[in-house]
Structure 1
């Protein structure tokens, strides 16, 4: 999406979401205490380091060996709802206003995950990371990393204003319908990626 359009949209969304963010922050403080913001280094455009922040929705509960418990055991009913509604991602609107992220694009990954993709990772991150993306409206947490990669690569090559609008609209439906794998999109992305990248993508399947 063009920056001249993206900036005002992100700024308006940020202003509208401020009361929601304040409410989420209060709920999380009462449920989990401080800090309420979670910071993490991710890979941005062209692999450059990007500090991504979101509302913290998990406790630091650990087992007898000191290992963090599984994600679903470190959430409360309210924090689980916050994640389902994607309200935990709202602080990233600040990054979009600043120009470090886009409204739509491949989600920012951990540098180690991006590195594991090799050249395909470089192509994937040739565009700014997004608050939401093609993979996020096609299954998200129900997808493997390689399935997300194929969808992200397809998006990077086919990105357009109309596609970005479609993704934004579908993102609004995700909290209502839940995350659902889209087999048709996955098959399309796999076939396209195999034709485009050949052995590089086949070696990951």
Structure 2
């Protein structure tokens, strides 16, 4: 049922968001050199690697590490990168990942391929069995600001509590957080 709803809502969202997606695509292209999309290697269900697209908010050549590990992340942002991240518009291309089944609307956020500590801790608790999400319980409870053990504890809570009503609650809280630009550090 969850997969059916993901496909249904991604098609609806894709139609509704087509104009904003086109506008952001043009804005990324005209404000910095390089491709419109950044395809990042991410860890999916059962720790398989998949390619996750985002609108490019960082300059070409930025190291492929979690943003908080960069010495000065702001120096790597494109002219509109900060706006894309704070508004979460950089996440819109992930609708593709939902459509093809690599992601769901709700689940733990997919780790970067090199976040071995996060992947190992999630695996030890069985969180790796979940399809990663565009948003998740950890994202509405701290997003970028959470240390890995707290993030995984929230992922485990999601694993234990997951159901359609909990997913709807997380989606609503995500909407509120995005509107308030809460929990975004760059």
TM normalised by structure 2 equals: 0.85
Structure 2 gap segments, 5+ residues each? 63-69
Structure 1 runs of 4+ with >4 Å offset: 114-117
Q: Output the CA distance in 2 between the equivalents of 1:69 and 1:36.
A: 24
Alignment partners' CA distance in 2, 1:43 and 1:170? 24
Q: Give the equivalent residue in structure 2 for 1:190.
A: none
After alignment, is 89-98 or 168-177 more displaced? 168-177
Are residues 116 and 72 of structure 1, via their aligned partners in 2, closer, same or farther at CA, if it must alter by over 3 Å?
same
Change (3 A) 1:61 1:54: closer
Asked if 1:71 is matched to 2:73, the reply is yes
**Higher mean C-alpha deviation, range 117-126 or range 165-174:** 117-126
Are residue 41 (structure 1) and residue 41 (structure 2) matched?
yes
Aligned ranges 1:37-186 → 2 under 5 Å: 37-60=37-60, 70-76=72-78, 78-114=80-116, 117-118=119-120, 120-121=122-123, 123-180=126-183
Contact 1:36 1:55 in 2 (8 A): yes
2:6·2:104 contact (CA, 8 Å) conserved in 1? yes
CA-CA distance at 1:83 after TM superposition? 1.0
Distance 1:179 1:169 in 2: 14
Number of residue pairs matched by the alignment: 176
> Do the aligned partners of 1:54 and 1:92 also contact (CA within 8 Å) in 2?
yes
CA shift digits 1:157-198 (9 cap, x unpaired): 1111011001111111112323259xxxxxxxxxxxxxxxxx
Q: 1:61 to 1:12 in 2, by over 3 A?
A: same
1:121 Cα offset (Å): 2.3
TM-score (norm 1): 0.78
Gaps of 5+ in 1: 63-67, 182-205
Alpha-carbon separation, structure 2, partners of 1:169 and 1:114: 30
Q: RMSD over aligned Cα, in angstroms?
A: 2.2
